[in-house]
Structure 1
Amino acid sequence: MRIGLYPGTFDPITNGHIDIITRGAALVDRLVIGVAINRDKGPLFDLEERVAMIEPVIAALSEKTGTEIIAHPFENLLINCAHDVGANVIIRGLRAVADFEYEFQMVGMNRALDSSVETVFLMAEAKHQAIASKLVKEIARLDGDVSKFVPSAVRDRLLDKLGKPKA
């Protein structure tokens, strides 16, 4: 069985993430969405909130793609998370050249830790390349419309979290 791991903080999950999840699901039999606790990033949403936003999205994608897709919170090394879930491939999304430099270093370190776990990069669709969770939060914080960047339920939770009215 081919098991893939797509890790991230997903704070919040965006349409760009959903694009990578959908395309990644076509490559594996089971896709684990590794939701990183990552206290260093200071997420807006706590772990339970992020998982709660992800689960309905991945349930719909699982039904659509026919691939089992589950959420799995983790706080250990990525390669250890891959071992925990039985993943033999890590799926990473790339938006721009700036992402590549960081991801290149991560692949090198992960391969040094365990060369049996492969990393696959998927380029974000052009319409999603500018989407980053950090920017989505900033746009919402400054009263911009984020409806084309996140699912409507995620938009509503983001606006609630920021104390903004839903228009």
Structure 2
Amino acid sequence: MRSAHEQEFEAFFDDASPRLLAAAWLLTGQQHTAEDLAQEALARTYARWPRVRGGNPLAFARRVMANLHTDRWRKHRREVLTDDAPETSHVTDSRTVDLVRALRALSPRERECVVLRHYLDLSEKQTAEALRISVGSVKSYTMHGLRGLRAQLLEGEESHA
């Protein structure tokens, strides 16, 4: 028989997994890496479940995921960009594929800031705390990231016209 804590975490897992996976995919641009990132964030959330369950466990998991992603790209400092869209069934709209390609072209920090601010709806302060950078840096990275996205998406529209 499972404990109440395990049942609570199972309900949280069922609710949060798709959102965390989608956010991880936007952060990484690669399905397998995103799955690993979301799984690790959920595992770390489970390890701290008695402490985080009373607060906002989704925010905790998102922060863990953002920190893990930052640690990974800092460690490797190399990105491999591809022209291939990820192998998922949920990407059917060409504008979504264009957005993902445009996100891949941003620097890792710009992509993190744009995804956390505009996809996960975190405030500038929450984003700064999650990434361990200043609010001013969040503003700057977000501005540059959005500028880059606009330029790439407008360029993509012109080539389709």
Q: TM-score under structure 2 normalisation?
A: 0.27
Larger radius of gyration: 2
Structure with a larger share of its residues in strand: 1
Tell which has more relative contact order, 1 or 2 (C-alpha 8 A, sep 6+): 1
Structure with a larger share of its residues in helix: 2
